[in-house]
Amino acid sequence: MQAITSTTDIRYEPNETPPLPLTIGLGFQMALLSIAGIVLTPAVVIRAGGGSEEYLTWAVFAAVVVSGVSTILQALGKFRIGSGYVLLMGTSGAFIGVCIGALHKSGPATMATLVIASSLLQLLFATKLSKFRRILTPTVSGTVIMLIAVTVMPILFDMMGEVPEGGSLSGTAMSAATALIVTIMLAIKARGILRLWAPMIGVLAGTIVSVFFGLYDTQTIQDAAWIGFPTTGWPGMDLSFGHVFWAFIPAFIFVTIIGAIETVGDSIAIQRISWRTPRASDFRTVQGSLMADGIGNFLSGVSGTIPNTTYSSSVSVVELTGVASRACGVAIGGIFILLSVNPKFLAAILAIPAPVVGAFVTVLIAMLFVLGMKIVVQDGINYRSGLICGISFWIGTGLQNRAIYPEFFDGLAGGTFENGMVGGGLVAILLTILTELTFKARKRIQTTLNIQSLSELQTFIRKFSQSHSWSSSFTNRVEGAVEEALLVLCGQTSPDKEDGVLQLIVKGEADRAILEFVAADSTENLQDRIALMGSDISTRNLEKDVSLRMLKHLTTSVRHERYHGTEIIVLEVHKATAIPRDISA
């Protein structure tokens, strides 16, 4: 099991600022590698849905601007909006099916209203995230991240084999292979400044090869204007709320929830790889990510374009380059906005042959798949989590490859289940809910967050123990874990602050107990403290460190989730001798 104290090869942490040329250069790299997806998604939707060219021009412009604004919001992380990390925002492929259906049935104004309505749900979801903590587990988030690879890889393989008009198959293969090999070699061998420019070098090498085979379209670049933006094409909003709206709103809500789960996974992943010494995941950061995502979706609806989501490839790029500075995130967003009014630069980026882009992004998505596996494994693989991950992953894979009743699922919810991430993510959620329901016995007690509440909590544990026929030794172990957790929680509250409310929820089986403490905000994360404890206990707070060591000894896992206004500590105690196996988020 990988410990949380392992270090990562990060050159610039989120709160550090690289030199300005490097910041702009890395921002340009990310913008270059992502702009094609941002532009192509609305193009696919509008052409398939029968939209006009005037509307298409507007929707592409609006998509790039909204992506830039929401990327900046993510990076800044101010006023509980945004993660404070480099999480690139762009148009969401998961919405393709439902948006085409709404556009075809009732036009862009109704589609815009549907996007706005579903974005409001996401904003509410972000504020109430702690209520969904038992569903959005690391197992669910990690599985959804792995399914992103399942969903995107077939598209990338098609891109690598795409032969432009007048081009040759050998030229396509050589361009893709060059980009792929150079990127992989740099990812493995590059150090120092060379590693920072690895993405650009890989794409540039593939593009140079494509020029020799006549695959790079220079005519489109010459024809494009230097400055320009559409003045017409905005569809407005349809506030009549007709039957098409009510027919499509469930599908839009469902896809929004799946997109939110992807954002949760991306937010957890970017936190894990952005610090030299990895930290436990802060769910206040996750809430901020969801808020920025929801605002991006709201702006997309108001401007009449396709909804946003976080681009998981940005996590892989941060891992590849070692630059996690939020200044780079702001630079990416600013470059998006500049590109939206500069058709010539936009054309130059879009002219990069699809095989080159596909080859490079293949490396990023492969890295992302491994990161999803790490999130699942670091949460602790047991029978239940392994079952959820395995079944969800393969059902999602089957749906993506149209191997599971395609004649039924293709037409369900506007073709939503053609996306493996959507189908597999739903299965993971349903199985997690089912797992929660298997705990037939769940008792809770609410008391005051102070040390005088210990006797009340221990009496509560003893009654629960009697109803489950626990042995006296196991009961004592659970009581000890409750005592040490209470001591730590009380020690983390401010001395001049009034006692808060503490809720303890106990779930039990014959050989294990799960204790969930719900309290007010603390000043630090228990997982980080436990993971960073050394062998010397003569620290500045001896009593607290002793409690942490006892807690580590008595439990088999400790998970500390911090939300705005709420913190949740989940302890798992097994009947057998406890050997700590999980101090991860």
Dist. CA 335–CA 351, nearest whole Å: 18
pLDDT at 209: 87
- The position carrying tokens 């077939």 is 154
CATH superfamily of 439-574: Histidine kinase-like ATPase, C-terminal domain (3.30.565.10)
Two tokens at 247?
């027919």
With pLDDT > 70 as the criterion, what percentage of the chain qualifies?
82
Residue 371 has pLDDT above 80, yes or no: no
Which residue ranges does the chain devote to CATH 3.30.565.10? 439-574
Are 199 and 314 spatial neighbours (Cβ–Cβ below 8 Å)?
no
pLDDT for 545 equals 56
| Average pLDDT, rounded, for the chain | 78
CA atoms within 13 A on the CB side of 51: 32
Return the minimum-mean-pLDDT range out of 19-23, 240-244, 434-438, 571-575.
434-438
pLDDT average, residue stretch 37-57: 76
34 Cα distance to chain centroid: 17
Answer whether residue 99 shows pLDDT above 60.
yes
- In the predicted model, is pLDDT for residue 540 greater than 90? no
Report the SS3 class of residue 49: coil
Strands 442-448 and 308-310: what pairing?
A: unpaired
- Structure confidence by residue, pLDDT tens digits, 422-453: 788 888 888 888 877 766 567 888 888 888 88
Burial class of residue 414, CB neighbours in 10 A (0-12, 13-18, 19+): buried
Higher pLDDT, 310 or 438: 310
Q: What is the pLDDT of residues 332-362, one digit of tens each?
A: 999 999 888 887 777 777 677 878 877 877 8
Burial class (CB in 10 A: 0-12, 13-18, 19+), 19: exposed
Confidence of residue 583 (pLDDT cuts 50, 70, 90): very low
Q: Which H, E and C letters describe 198-243, residue by residue?
A: HHHHHHHHHHHHHHHCCCCCHHHHHHCCCCCCCCCCCCCCCCCCCH
Q: Rounded mean pLDDT of 257-285?
A: 81
Q: What is the mean pLDDT of residues 184-203?
A: 72
Q: Which residues pair with 567 in a beta bridge?
A: 519, 562
Instruction: Please give the Cα distance from 40 to 155 (Å, whole number).
Output: 12
Nearest partner of 582 among 381, 290, 412, 369, judged by Cα: 381
Sheet of 501-508, strands arranged across: 442-448, 501-508, 512-519, 566-574, 557-563
Q: What is the 3-state secondary structure (H, E, C) of 538-584?
A: CCCCHHHHHHHHHHHHHCCEEEEEEECCEEEEEEEEECCCCCCCECC
Confidence of residue 116 (pLDDT cuts 50, 70, 90): very high
- The whole-number pLDDT of residue 520 equals 66
459 CB contacts (<8 Å, ≥6 apart)?
none
Element (H, E) at 480: helix 472-492
Determine the Cα–Cα distance for residues 126 and 73; give it in Å rounded to an integer. Answer: 15
12 forms beta bridges with: 323
Q: What is the pLDDT of residue 497?
A: 55
Residue 133 three-state SS: coil
Question: Does the structure show a pLDDT above 80 at 275?
Answer: yes
Of 565 and 583, the one with more pLDDT:
565
What is the predicted pLDDT for the residue at 25? 84
Distance between first and last Cα of the chain:
13
pLDDT score of 68: 92
The 3 state secondary structure assigned to 284-351 is HHHHHHHHHHHHHHHHHHHHCCCCEEECCHHHHHHHHHCECCHHHHHHHHHHHHHHHCCHHHHHHHHC
Q: With a cut of 80, say whether residue 471 has pLDDT above it.
A: yes
Residue, of 525 and 298, whose pLDDT is higher: 298
**CA-closest candidate to residue 215, choices 175, 159, 161:** 175
Q: What is the pLDDT of residues 382-409, one digit of tens each?
A: 777 888 888 988 988 888 887 777 777 7
The DSSP code sequence of 141-209 is HHHHHHHHHHHHHHHHHHHHT---TT--HHHHHHHHHHHHHHHHHHHHH--THHHHTHHHHHHHHHHHH
Q: 192 or 282, which is more confident? A: 282
Distance between CA atoms of residues 187 and 503, nearest Å: 47
Q: Is the pLDDT of residue 544 over 70?
A: no
pLDDT confidence tier of residue 364, bands split at 50, 70 and 90? confident
**Average pLDDT of the residues in 249-257:** 78
537: confidence class by pLDDT, cuts 50, 70, 90: very low
Which pLDDT does position 66 carry in this prediction? Answer: 93
**Six-digit token pair at 173?**
């293969």
Q: What is the pLDDT of residue 188?
A: 78
